[in-house]
Structure 1
Amino acid sequence: MDKIAVVILNWNGIKLLEQFLPSVIQFSSDAAIYVADNASTDDSLKFVQQHFPTVKIIKNTGNHGFARGYNDALKEVNAEIYALVNSDIEVTENWLKPIIETFEAEKQTAIIQPKILDFKNKEYFEYAGAAGGFVDKYGYPFCRGRIFDTIEKDNGQYDDNCEIFWASGACFFIRKEVYDELEGFDESFFAHQEEIDLCWRALNEGHIIKYNPKSVVYHIGGATLQQGNPKKTYLNFRNSLLMLVKNLPKRKLFFIILFRMILDGIAGIRFLTQGKFKHTLAVLHAHFSFYYMSASYLKKRKDFQIEKYYTVKSIVFIYYIKKLTFFKEIFNSNQNIKN
């Protein structure tokens, strides 16, 4: 069994593999490297075979998205630690060393995220994960270094090794035994927020999730679905509601789901006033899909859910009404932040 396996999920990403796979190979000598392909129709696999023969290839049967794509691929990977890495990630020298050291020293730590910076503007954090993620009471995710569309410059303000609520799927380290215990990602999500759901389930089982700033990667972000894509809006809104049904404490479930749907409605109206009609329709579509799927998701609930899952009551209120846009500002004004 390998100590660590770097697994890159690919779908028609030959250009990204050409650009970013060399850095993974150069700086991952201690790892087995895999490209897990979601039935690409371009020359991705031919390119990898010709130029990087040491990279192992896993062929999935179709484009099943991020969740099932990894679930299927990891059945063929035998390693103590999985490093799930987007194809648009540039890694840095010694990026694996602090992660492996943390796993070896902290047996309860199950999942780790590195510092994720913007490949296009390397002094700034990247949208998808930044310096580790949290959620508010209503399930809205935010990060140290990124709240909604406000992205902070990396001035070393989040260089502490700390516990977080969720780790970004852009670069996601997890123990194999924990991944197996949780039965992997929820395949119904297809893509988006499946890593938050997995982390929430891990926390419900008593595991610890950490952020390690000594490991640094650079992420393009949005290489598969751009931020303004209505499909991404649909998946984010639908999956967030499904995640809440699965993981909220029972006594809070009805009220929070109801209030969250009201907030989603307000977001849909805001899209409408901005002329983003397709995004308003995406929110409506997400809600109708949620109604259809909610009964089956109630059956996915486990016996125990942690009560204190959120760090602030409403990140929407703090950001849009109180106008606090940086994580450090919120921490200084709210003692519920876990740091």
Structure 2
Amino acid sequence: MTLAVVILNWNGVSLLEQFLPTLIKCSSEATIYIADNASTDASISYVKTNFPQVQIIQNESNYGFAGGYNEALKNVTADIFVLVNSDVEVTPNWLNPMITTFENEPQTAIIQPKILDFKNKEYFEYAGAGGGFIDKYGFPFCRGRIFETIEKDLGQYDDALSIFWASGACFFIRSVVYNELKGFDASFFAHQEEIDLCWRAHNKGYAVKYNPKSVVYHVGGATLQQGNPKKTELNFRNSLFMLTKNLPKNVLYQRLFIRLLLDGVAALQFLVKGKPKHFFSVLKAHLAFYQYFSSQFKKRATVQNVSYYQVNSIVFSYFIKNGTVFGKLV
């Protein structure tokens, strides 16, 4: 089984300097690629000078996360694509547990490792933690992270299991499945494209897994910080795109309507908290949703996964029932 570790880079020379040496040291089982989204810094010259064994793919423009990987992976041949953010620190033996799972489970198409916080290594990291899920209305959450509550890693999520979505920060996928699904939806640009891809994989009958025997540490927010209004816009917009594409048809409009109302409440909260830029980000997201609804609707698969959600409403469970950790939800 051949592996290609592909790091998407955009003006991230400092991150490559910090994390690439360890990745190379711990990844003898794989061929390593830098997929560069038209950087204007010294990223490419740094890699060529210091790590000539690393393959470089130069995209013609900054296509974002989704389009950037789609373009780059056209040039990669391997059984397994391992997509790794440039701000991820891997650990020894991080690849072997994943190889074993893929070899033993033909229907498993996508796997995520345990993702801990690089800055505070005893805690889970926001983007992925111990595996991702969504609620009935498409709000994502993780084992180890619900909204802003992040748990300490006490071994409570050391069980390998099926999850709904795997984090794009460190994302293992069979190349045949990636190609069958035509990769990420490039219209997302960045944020939640991995959830959409996992949902489409479920619709095809594939499994998505979490394997805690593989551990990585993620800095997070290296491209857009958590409080960035653009990040808010992309998250709200792309979540609506994803629901339009993947919700079961008999509940599509009802759940979209409720989600739009919940988004409106979130927008008002931004305003009350003195964050007008984020308020307008939600408005922009909704305008884009209305503008592109028809084109997103046309992407719907023939069959939708009807048992896609873990809880009815993570908003209600978290804010009303005090379900601040995953163990209180189920």
Please classify the TM superposition score into its range, dividing by the shorter chain length.
over 0.9
1:302 to partner: Cα distance? 1.1
Cα separation, 2, equivalents of 1:64 and 1:109: 28
One-letter amino acid of the counterpart of residue 253, structure 1: L
Percent identical residues? 68
CA-to-partner distance for each residue in 1:242-264, whole Å, 9 max, x for gaps?
Answer: 00000000000000000000000
Aligned partner of 2:175 in structure 1 is: 176
Aligned partner of 2:102 in structure 1 is: 103
For residue 2 of structure 2, give the secondary structure of its aligned residue in structure 1.
Answer: strand
Aligned partner of 1:90 in structure 2 is: 89
One-letter amino acid of the counterpart of residue 290, structure 1: F
Cα separation, 1, equivalents of 2:286 and 2:312: 23
Aligned partner of 1:5 in structure 2 is: 4
Cα separation, 2, equivalents of 1:140 and 1:199: 15
For residue 83 of structure 1, give the secondary structure of its aligned residue in structure 2.
Answer: strand
One-letter amino acid of the counterpart of residue 278, structure 1: K
1:306 to partner: Cα distance? 1.2
CA-to-partner distance for each residue in 1:20-77, whole Å, 9 max, x for gaps?
Answer: 0011100000100000000000000000000111100000000010000000000000
Cα separation, 1, equivalents of 2:198 and 2:175: 14
For residue 194 of structure 2, give the secondary structure of its aligned residue in structure 1.
Answer: helix
Runs ≥4 in structure 1, deviation > 2 angstroms?
A: none
Please, what is the CA RMSD of the aligned residues? Answer: 0.5
Cα separation, 1, equivalents of 2:12 and 2:205: 37
1:204-219 superposed matches below 5 A: 204-219=203-218
Cα separation, 2, equivalents of 1:117 and 1:330: 21
One-letter amino acid of the counterpart of residue 224, structure 1: T
Cα separation, 2, equivalents of 1:323 and 1:158: 20
Aligned partner of 1:297 in structure 2 is: 296
Aligned partner of 1:245 in structure 2 is: 244
1:283 equivalent in alignment to 2:279: no
With normalisation by structure 1, the TM-score equals: 0.97
Cα separation, 1, equivalents of 2:218 and 2:241: 27
Aligned partner of 2:133 in structure 1 is: 134
| Structure 1: 5+ residue stretches without partners | 332-339
For residue 79 of structure 1, give the secondary structure of its aligned residue in structure 2.
Answer: coil
Cα separation, 2, equivalents of 1:203 and 1:133: 14
For residue 122 of structure 1, give the secondary structure of its aligned residue in structure 2.
Answer: coil
One-letter amino acid of the counterpart of residue 18, structure 2: Q
One-letter amino acid of the counterpart of residue 166, structure 1: W
Cα separation, 1, equivalents of 2:136 and 2:49: 50
Cα separation, 1, equivalents of 2:73 and 2:305: 28
One-letter amino acid of the counterpart of residue 60, structure 1: N
1:123 equivalent in alignment to 2:122: yes
1:290-329 superposed matches below 5 A: 290-329=289-328
1:164 to partner: Cα distance? 0.1
One-letter amino acid of the counterpart of residue 151, structure 2: E
| Structure 2: 5+ residue stretches without partners | none
Cα separation, 2, equivalents of 1:281 and 1:226: 17
Aligned partner of 2:232 in structure 1 is: 233
With normalisation by structure 2, the TM-score equals: 1.00
1:166 to partner: Cα distance? 0.1
Aligned partner of 2:61 in structure 1 is: 62
One-letter amino acid of the counterpart of residue 149, structure 2: T
Aligned partner of 2:187 in structure 1 is: 188
Aligned partner of 1:48 in structure 2 is: 47
1:324 to partner: Cα distance? 1.4
Aligned partner of 1:271 in structure 2 is: 270
CA-to-partner distance for each residue in 1:188-218, whole Å, 9 max, x for gaps?
Answer: 0000000000000000000000000000000
1:203 equivalent in alignment to 2:199: no
Residue correspondences, number:
330
